[in-house]
Each structure stands twice: as C-alpha cells, then as structure tokens.
Amino acid sequence: MAALELFVTRGFAATKLADVARAAAVSKGLPYLYFKNKEELFKAVITEAIGGPLAEATDMIDRFEGSSEDLLRGLIAGFRTFEESPAGGVVKLILAEAGNFPDVARFFCTHFDARGRHLFARVLRRGTESGEFAPIADIETTAIVIVQPLAMFSVWRRSLAPFDASNNLTSDRFYEAHLDFVLKSLRP
C-alpha cells in the first residue's frame, strides 16, 4: 500500500490524506468508502503489514528441525526479509506513534513484539538445554538484547541512514557482525 510508505517516512500526523490518495492514484474521497477515517486507515495499514509476515514466521519456526544455531540463523534471516520488505517500516511507525494510538500499540505488542521475543527465547532455551549454548542467567532479557539491534537497524535504515555522512554500513556487514557477535557470546 502506498499509504504505508508515506506514514513511515513522514509520520501519521504529517501525512495528508490527499497525498495518500495522490500516491495511490485515486481521488481524495475514495479511501473514505473503505475506511471510516484516517485513524482506521492507519490501523488497517499496520495490521495488514504485520499479519502476513508474522504468520509465515511462526510456522517456519514450528516446522523447523535442526541445530539451535541454524534455527537462530533462520530466525534472523526471516526477520531480515521482513525488514527489507515494504512492510518493514511499520516498526519505526509504531514506535513513533504508540503514544497516540494505544490500541495499535497494544495489538503490536501482543501479536508481534512479545511473540517475536518469545521465539528467540525459545531458541535460546533449546540451545542451552541441549548444551549447544553456554548457560544463560536471564534468558528472556538476553533474547531482548539479541533482538533489539535488529529492530534498531530497521528503524535506523529508514531514518538516520540517509543523513549519515560516514555511511559505509551495508545491511550485509551489519547482519554479519551481529550474528558473529551473538554466536560468540552464546557458545560455551
């Protein structure tokens, strides 16, 4: 959806519905035949952007069989493809607008944030139990520490990256360094 891109780059309040309409090559009134108002459009855009990728990710995990390290790699790779799709912008969008849209924030928390963290925690638990990873004092929080760079990179790429003069950080380099760093920390 064209609306998503505008919301991501400009924010909710600064995005004019006339612009959304123009970007989608329709008239100003058309969106109102499908969405009650701007806020409903916003919610629809977000839930649509999250829904698909989330479903894919969960059953990818459920069906997985192999080493915990490979599962971790798979999970991160999965996040990357989501992040690099147009839908990846929702993370930034939601973090920015959470205060103004409590129910969107809550929805995102339970259906994406918490679930995503849980998946990583599960992998860590699996790995430590099998002895593949070293023991971890606080698994839930460690999962957060692992996920946060991914989320942050997603946000950064869509906000500061274009303005960073010393911008020689490619996605490849980042994901490589991240995985390297994480695995070093996890191995016994």
Candidates 176, 99, 172, 179; CA nearest to 147 is 179
**Would you say 7 or 82 has its CB closer to DNA?**
7
Say whether 80 sits in a helix, a strand or coil.
helix
Shortest distance (Å) from residue 99 CB to DNA: 15
| Structure-block tokens of residue 114 | 């918490």
**Would you say 55 or 160 has its CB closer to a copy of itself?**
160
Q: What is the dihedral of CA 168, 145, 129, 76, to 10 degrees?
A: -40
**Amino acid (1-letter code) at residue 156:** W
Three-state SS sequence of 24-39: CCCCCCCHHHHCCCHH
How many chain residues interact with a copy of itself (CB under 8 A)? 56
Say whether 18 sits in a helix, a strand or coil.
helix
Find where tokens 């123009």 sit.
22
Interface residue with a copy of itself among 1, 2, 11, 54 (CB under 8 A) is 11
Q: Verify binding: residue 42, a copy of itself, rule CB under 8 A.
A: no
Window contacting a copy of itself (CB under 8 A); options: 6-14, 32-40, 43-51, 65-73 = 6-14
Instruction: State the DSSP code for 181.
Output: H
Window contacting DNA (CB under 7 A); options: 35-43, 57-65, 131-139, 140-148 = 35-43
Q: Verify binding: residue 61, a copy of itself, rule CB under 8 A.
A: no
Residues in 105-164 at the binding interface with a copy of itself, rule: CB under 8 A: 105-106, 108-110, 113-114, 134, 137-138, 140-142, 144-146, 148-149, 151-153, 155-156, 159-160, 162-164
CA distance 183 to 113: 22
How far separated are the first and last CA of the chain, in Å rounded? 46
Contact 19, 6 (CB under 8 A): yes
**Would you say 34 or 163 has its CB closer to a copy of itself?**
163
The residues binding a copy of itself (CB under 8 A) are 9-14, 92, 94-100, 102, 105-106, 108-110, 113-114, 134, 137-138, 140-142, 144-146, 148-149, 151-153, 155-156, 159-160, 162-166, 169, 173-174, 176-178, 180-182, 184-185
